[in-house]
Structure formats: structure tokens, C-alpha cells
Structure 1
Amino acid sequence: MSRPLEPLVRLIRQGAVFGVVGVAATLTHVLIALALEGLAGLEPLIANLIGYTCGIGVSYLGHARLTFASPARDGAQFARFLAVTLFALGLNQLIVWICVHRIGWPFWAALIAVVLLVPGPTFVLAKLWAFRRPSV
């Protein structure tokens, strides 16, 4: 017999795991980018791109396995995940541009806005589209 709050508890758990995986992916991105720029002498944009790409790997595997309990070896799912990631990156950049260049906020304040505004829609898109289970 199913409990009435079970879907809500599952959603809250997924949201929490989504956050933890997101932090791990972000740390991977930042630490690799800083190491490549500082230790290997790569140009910052190249180092950032490589770090971001590594972060995508951590994010995809973490969300597939831990957040949504989906198989990681699914090409269509990975393609949808990349689309969600690119949407999130675009939204991130748009928020920073508006906050810094239009409103005049400092960069750190724009990043707070990004952290507050981007994860929600990203979670919804990941749950309902990128990692959705096919109906049988």
C-alpha cells in the first residue's frame, strides 16, 4: 500500500541529490579549470572549457545514477541532458549579463542570482525530459 506523502518525499530526495551532484560537478569544473590555468599554463578560456566539459561528465553520471536512477549508457538521454545543460549555461550567462551590465550589480551578486534561479528549471527539465523514463 502506497503512502500519500511518498511522491513528495521522493521529489524532495531527488532535489537534494540533484543539489549535491551539482555542487560536485561545479567543484570538478572549477578545480580542473584552475589547475589547468595555474599549473599547466593554459589560457583561461581553454582551461574553463575543459573544466566545464569534465563537470558535465560528473553531472551526467551523478544525475543518471544517483538523482534519477537511470542507465548512464543511453545516447538519447545523454543528448537530452546536453540540451538541458546548454539551456542552463545560456540562462546562467543571461542572468549574469542582465545583473552586471544592465542593473549594475557586482559579479558576485549576479552569481548569487544564478544559484537561486538556475537550478529549479534545470531540475524540472532534467526530471521531466532529459531523464524521463519511457512509458510502457
Structure 2
Amino acid sequence: MNPSTFWFLAVGGCAALTHMGVFALARHHMWPELANALGFGVAFFVSFAGHRLLSFRDAATSVATSFARFVVTALAGFVSNELVFVLLLRALGWPSLAALFTALVFAAGQTFMLSRFWAFRR
């Protein structure tokens, strides 16, 4: 495994744990869909910092360019995440944490491809 892939998985894992932790704390106080959005918002900063400093540290783009592109990348990932999450939670009746975990895994591949080949282009 090359270092970029290792760091992408490590940073993504930390961001996913942050997302799930915030969700787990917030889901009892708001709709699960909003708790998912809150978790995403907090994890976004973990993800950007980690990917910029570790996963794609050799990026040929400025921090500002990478940040702007990563916002688009992350929002696209969140749209995928939220759609899968709502489908599993509301339509199929899955428990919220299982639905969130599955949605996060689903969106991870898309996020990697957009991050590697666009947001943090080498």
C-alpha cells in the first residue's frame, strides 16, 4: 500500500469516527438527518486538514484552491451519504448507526476519486 492510500484511509477513518461520534451524541436531540449533517460539518475540517497535510501533501494546488475543490468534493460525498442514509433509515427501517456506517462507506470511494484526481491534484 502506498503512503497516500494509507493516509487517505487513516484520515478517512478518523473523519468517519468523528462524524459517527457527533451523530451518536446529536441523534437524540434532533432528526437523524440533521444529526448526520452536523456530523458531516464537524468531520469536514478533520478530513480537509488530514488530507491536505498527510494524504495529499504533495498536491500541486494551493491551500485555497484545494479547500474550494474539497468543499465541492465533500458536499458531493455528503449528498451521496445522505441519500443512502435516508433510504436505509426511512425506507428500509435500518437502525440509524448501521445506516450511517453503510452510507459513509458508500460515499468514501467517490470522495477518494474526487480528492485524488481533482481537489488535491498532483
Same fold (TM over 0.5): yes
Cα separation, 2, equivalents of 1:53 and 1:115 = 14
**Among the aligned pairs, what percent are the same residue?**
33
Provide the secondary structure at the position in 1 that maps to 2:8: helix
Q: CA RMSD in A?
A: 3.0
Kept after mapping to 1: 8 A contact 2:61/2:121:
no
Q: Which one of the candidate residues 56, 78, 91 is aligned to 1:102?
A: 91
Aligned to 2:72: 83
Gaps of 5+ in 1: 1-8, 38-42
Structure 2 residues without counterparts, runs of 5 or longer: none
Report the structure number with the largest CA radius of gyration. 1
Say whether residues 1:58 and 2:46 are aligned partners: yes
1: CA distance between counterparts of 2:70 and 2:80? 15
Give the TM-score normalised by the residue count of structure 1.
Answer: 0.66
| Higher relative contact order, chain-length normalized (CA < 8 Å, sep 6+) | 2
For residues 31 and 108 of structure 1, the distance between their equivalents in structure 2, rounded to whole angstroms, comes to 10
Q: Partner residue of 1:21?
A: 11
Q: Could you report, residue by residue, the CA deviation over 1:17-37 in whole angstroms, capped at 9, with x for unpaired residues?
A: 1121123234445667888x7
Which one-letter code corresponds to 2:79 in the other structure?
G
Correspondence for 1:5: none
- SS of residue paired to 1:104: coil
Count of matched residue positions in the alignment of Structure 1 and Structure 2: 115
Report if the CA contact (8 A) 1:21-1:59 is conserved. yes
Aligned counterparts of 1:73 and 1:29: Cα–Cα separation in 2: 26
Is the 8 Å Cα contact of residues 28 and 55 (structure 1) preserved in structure 2? yes
Shift of 1:131: 0.6
2:40–2:78 Cα contact (<8 Å) kept: no
